[in-house]
Structure 1
Amino acid sequence: MPVLSRRAMLAAAPALALPTLVRAQGAWPTRSIRLVVPFSAGGAADSSARVLTPRMGETLGQVFAVENRTGASGSLGGLEVARATDGHTFLWDASSHIVNPTLLRNLPFDYATAFTPISLVVLFPSAVAVKADFPARTLAEFVAAAKARPGAITVGTQGNATAGHLGLLAFAKVAGIEVIHVPYRGGAAAAQDLASGAIDAVFTTLVSAGPVVDSGRARFLAVGTTERVESRPQVPTIAESGYAGFESNEWAGLFGPAATPPAVVSRMYDALAEAMAVPANRQRLIQIGCVPVGSRPADFARFVAEGRGAMATLVREANVRAD
């Protein structure tokens, strides 16, 4: 966690930034809006941002400049926004936002106080998929196989401390199974090894595993959303497969710096909601594997706070490390 002196600096930062933001509020926005995505271009989070920002820019009368600032599990991009005082810099972050506070040490900012939540934009459903010749056809059969051979079934994820890894840990706990975690550098790499038969299963995003399932080299057993996914309506949820209340997904959300005025938050949210209401945008989000959400700021703030607490408990109990 951040050392005391840096926490003190962070606590002072909003007070220093506030006058600048308040002055900009009346005519906001007065110039292009910088949207920092702390992940690679072409990835799920980046792609969802690029679907929606053109229409958001039209609504607000300014161009959105999407900037990929990668590194340190997304915290480098987070830092860029946490220290922004220009009133026109925002963050398009993912689930690492609620994991990093526990996972990373000596961060130069505090995730809990450095940002203003604006909206949970989309979910990227997690999914359990198995290789084509794996005997299980349902999640119940997969759990039975894992219990019959504890510590023998291999399950790939996007990597250590990723949403897939944490989702796998949570599911293994509620299902009472022991499997071998195989971390990869991304969900696509895990899916390719699933397709070749090198691993038995994956717990990764629906979009990452989709191509190998569509090719017939793997099959889905369940998804991690609370309701069935529009793009894969035939795949049951983990919750309806015997684990009521279970949910595990990657997501993308919109944040501003801590001192973002309420009027600016409202305008950003309204622009986002309008962009998400465009049928072509909604369909494109679904096509790239998203579940559109567009939650209100207060709801997103609760989601982030609750998720941060849950992830802190899971990371500590499972002794998860970044490396």
Structure 2
Amino acid sequence: MPLARRALLAAPALLLPGLRPGTARAQPAWPSRPIRLIVPFAAGGAADSAARTLAPRMGERLGQTIVVENRTGAGGSVGGSAVAQAAPDGHTLLWDASSHLVNPALLKGLPFDYATAFTPVSLVTTFPQVLAVKVDSPAQDLAGFIALAKSRPGQLNIGTQGNATAGHLAVVRLGRLAGIEVQHVPYRGGSDAARDIAGGNLDAVFITALSAGPVVASGRARFLAVAAESRVSVQPDVPTFAEAGLPGLTLSEWAALFGPAGLPPAIAERLHAVLAESLAEPEVQARLAQLAAVPVGSSPAEFARFVREGRESMATLVREANIRVE
């Protein structure tokens, strides 16, 4: 997805909120100290790697260090809670994933409300989900896989990176759109699911291209389709679901930037500007390509709409498919 032209324009000089035109007393500029970037997932994953790629570039442009801090647990809500309780001064930010949209429909008794506790800043990157089958599967393409599933209702097992993840939701949508019944097998990460399809213990996986890529490259699995609107550069020969004959299945994992509720619009716009400039760097784009990530860099307004619509869509899917946290 091309970056919006306006996203590449530098934001004007920023003063702290509360400064009015004509105010005589000078206000300190933002940021005035290092910024904490809370990643609510374990280090080393695709979202974390993207954060660690972009944080130094953004920090250079802001004139302050951005410190990546992993706060894991409860599907990302532990890290989310830390940011929800932080002061909205732009010095504590959240780097979240698609669970941000699913958690409100799954987790009960949270100390904050996902709908009101955060300020959307930008959808940074997407990580397209891919459907891959084990190497000795009789399915040579998506149509063949659907036919196979219909001939063995409920017998084919598809591994994902876990319950209520983007992969799980993609499996649910695949079943509904194709009219098939399959067995979902949740793992604790895409790499675990990839390992089992490599060993022939799964019929298929629905995980990120990053997790599935090495297994396919080694000849132990085969791509069928990617759940994106267009083909991804890291796997240009893999058709989209629409190209393979099943339109309507576009569901990616993603990484995005949020601030606490009440983050001043000027700070959100400045963060978006330096993020977009960083995403445009060739070195950053090369690193993201290695992660099978597609750069986005949407504006705060665009991302707010994405979050609002996505939360409603995911709530419906979770309810109708009776998805639960195991």
More helix by share: 1
Q: Which residue pairs with 1:51 in the alignment?
A: 53
Q: Does 2:147 align with 1:119?
A: no
Q: Which residue of 1 aligns with 2:298?
A: 295
SS of match in other structure, 1:259: coil
**Equivalent residue for 1:152, pick from 147, 152, 155:** 155
SS in 1 for 2:266: helix
Q: Could you tell me how far apart the structure 2 residues matched to 1:262 and 1:162 are? A: 31
Q: State the AA in 1 paired with 2:144.
A: E
Alignment match, 2:314 = 311
Residues 229, 25 of structure 1: CA spacing in aligned structure 2 closer, same or farther, 3 A cutoff?
farther
CA distance in 2, matches of 1:21, 1:93: 25
Question: Is residue 219 of structure 1 aligned with residue 210 of structure 2?
Answer: no
How much identity, in percent, do the aligned residues show? 63
Selected match of 1:167 from 170, 188, 203: 170
Task: Give the superposed CA RMSD.
Answer: 1.4
Counterpart of 2:29 (choices 27, 30, 37) is 27
The CA deviation at 1:25 is 7.8
Task: Provide the C-alpha distance between the structure 2 equivalents of 1:292 and 1:86, rounded to a whole number of angstroms.
Answer: 26
Name the CA distance, whole Å, in 2 between partners of 1:117 and 1:38.
Answer: 16
Could you tell me how far apart the structure 2 residues matched to 1:135 and 1:60 are?
54
1:107 and 1:248 mapped to 2: Cα distance?
A: 26
Report Cα offsets for 1:100-137 as digits up to 9, x if no partner: 00000011111011111110000011000000000111
8 A contact 1:21–1:259 mirrored in 2: no
Contact 2:97 2:256 in 1 (8 A): yes
Which of 82, 103, 110 is the aligned partner of 2:84?
82
Q: CA deviation at 1:243?
A: 2.2
Distance in 2 (CA, whole Å) between partners of 1:46 and 1:25 is 34
Amino acid paired to 1:92: W
Deviation (angstroms), 1:239 = 2.0
**Equivalent-residue separation in structure 1 for 2:27 and 2:99 (angstroms):** 30
Instruction: Give how far 1:21 is off.
Output: 5.8
Change (3 A) 1:131 1:204: same
Aligned pairs for 1:1-323 within 5 A: 22=18, 27-85=29-87, 87=89, 88-323=91-326
CA distance in 1, matches of 2:82, 2:222: 40
CA shift for structure 1 position 86: 5.8
What's the offset of the Cα at 1:246?
Answer: 2.1
Cα separation, 2, equivalents of 1:21 and 1:149: 61
Post-superposition Cα deviations, 1:32-67, rounded to whole Å, max 9, x if no partner, equal 111000000111111000111111011000000000
After TM superposition, the runs of 4+ consecutive aligned structure 1 residues lying more than 4 A away are: 20-26
Tell me which moved more, 242-251 or 21-30. Answer: 21-30
Q: Which amino acid aligns with 1:308?
A: R
* CA shift for structure 1 position 245: 3.0
Aligned-partner residue type, residue 217 of structure 1: R
Unaligned runs of 5+ residues in structure 1 are 1-19
Letter paired with 1:61: G
Partner letter of residue 53 of structure 1? A
CA distance in 1, matches of 2:27, 2:70: 26
Deviation, structure 1 residue 167: 1.0
Match of 2:243, SS state, is helix
Deviates more, 1:207-216 or 1:21-30: 21-30
- Tell me, yes or no, if the aligned pair for 2:88 and 2:259 is still in contact at 8 Å: no
One-letter amino acid matched to 2:255? A
Q: Aligned to 1:233, what secondary structure does the other structure show?
A: coil
CA distance in 1, matches of 2:215, 2:18: 50
Report the equivalent of 2:6: none
Q: CA deviation at 1:244?
A: 2.0
Q: Deviations over 1:205-251 (max 9, x none)?
A: 11111111010000100011100001110000112222223211100
Structure 1 residues 25 and 142: alpha-carbon distance in aligned structure 2, compared to 1, 3 A threshold: farther
Q: Structure 2: which 5+ runs fail to align?
A: 1-15, 20-25
CA deviation digits over 1:60-82, x for unaligned, max 9? 00000000000010001001001
Structure 1 position 26, deviation (Å): 5.6
Contact 1:21 1:86 in 2 (8 A): no
2:18 & 2:213 partners in 1: Cα distance? 46
TM-score, normalised by the number of residues in structure 2: 0.91
